[in-house]
Amino acid sequence: MLKIGISGVSGRMGRKIAELSLNYSDINITAGIESPDCAHYYNTVGEIINKDLSAPVTADLSEVIDKIDVLIDFASNQEAVLGHLRLLAADVNKKAAVIGTTGFTQFQIEEIKQLSKDLPIVLAPNMSIGVNLLFKLVEKAARVLKDKGFDIEVVEMHHRFKKDAPSGTAVKIVDILKKETGIEKVVYGREGITGERSTKEIGVFALRGGDVVGEHTVIFASDGERIEITHRATSRDIFAKGALEAARWVYSKESGLYDMLDVLGLNE
């Protein structure tokens, strides 16, 4: 039985993961971690999702670290996630982590890389199989269309509560595009007299509104034709299932930094 702690357990994703975990006979949620501001509202994860789940909720991972094998972190506080990883990496027992939280700075990503020397970590800004296939399709399209007169724009849309922009998934898409095309300049939104678009830029637009779970479109536009690759998420279940699959996968792995392409076997 794999023992899992969920950080950000009373958030949108945390709840969903706790609910879906009940469908897995080999997974047990054994702890919930929440921000000090709201941990005291709950004694157990069961109270959060209205189910019979006695896992305790705490603001301090060190209180429950012995109860868990893998921490799934969807806390909306990047510094807190790093604090959790430091504790897990320093623990004498085997631990692993799945990070769903987005919005890390480059500096924070570097620390995650360092910590992954002592801890198997899956860092995935998007845990859905469809988006990870989108990453592969974008990589392929960019490779084929590079230097053939196609302008590249990325558009994402999310619900009004999202705290970071552009989305972690859009950031990852842009990283793939930069790597494949060699284009370095990224333009976030346009306003005013911008002048003509340069061929050596990637445009990124973040739309926010309503209850949109997550949409990403990559546009390759040239004179006379346009290719658009779109993924639309209509339910958070896809991310929660991906997180639970990643937790199962990563616990048997050596220390290192992995992504969802590794979990899904999509990395050549």
What are the backbone angles phi and psi of residue 66, rounded to the nearest 5°? -70, -15
Of the listed pieces 28-36, 45-53, 85-93, 113-121, which binds ligand NAD according to CB under 6 A?
28-36
Residue 251 lies near ligand NAD (rule: CB under 6 A):
no
Q: Is 216 a catalytic residue?
A: no
Neighbours of 141 (CB within 10 A): 19
Least Cβ distance, residue 133 to ligand NAD (angstroms) = 14
Which region among 3-11, 85-93, 112-120, 149-157 touches ligand NAD (by CB under 6 A)?
A: 3-11
**75 sits near ligand NAD (criterion: CB under 6 A):** yes
Q: Does 77 bind ligand NAD (CB under 6 A)?
A: yes
Select the residue interacting with ligand NAD from 30, 76, 116, 132 (CB under 6 A).
76
Contact 84, 61 (CB under 8 A): yes
Beta bridge partners of 216: 156, 231
Selected from 27, 68, 103, 150, the binder of ligand NAD by CB under 6 A is 103
The sheet carrying 120-123 orders its strands as 57-58, 27-33, 2-7, 70-73, 96-99, 120-123, 256-258
For residue 165, the 8-state DSSP code is S
Q: Give the pairing of strands 225-233 and 214-222.
A: antiparallel
Within 145-204, which residues bind ligand NAD (CB under 6 A)? Answer: 168
* Binding residue (CB under 6 A) for ligand NAD from 64, 80, 154, 257: 80
Question: Which is closer to ligand NAD, CB of 239 or CB of 251?
Answer: 239
Q: Which of 158, 216, 231, 241 is catalytic?
A: 158
132 touching ligand NAD, by CB under 6 A: no
Is 162 annotated as catalytic?
yes
- The answer to whether residues 45 and 55 touch, using CB atoms and an 8 Å cutoff, is yes
d(CA 33, CA 61): 6
Direct distance between the N- and C-terminal alpha carbons of the chain, in angstroms, rounded to an integer? 30
Q: Report 31-60 residues binding ligand NAD (CB under 6 A).
A: 33-35, 38
**Among residues 2 and 98, whose Cβ is nearest to ligand NAD?**
98
Query: Which of residues 3, 6, 10, 250 is near ligand NAD by CB under 6 A?
Result: 10
Q: What share of the chain is helix, strand, coil (3-state, %, to 5)?
A: 35, 25, 35
Catalytic residue list: 158, 162
Q: Which residues bind ligand NAD (CB under 6 A)?
A: 7-8, 10-14, 33-35, 38, 74-77, 80, 100-103, 124-127, 168, 239
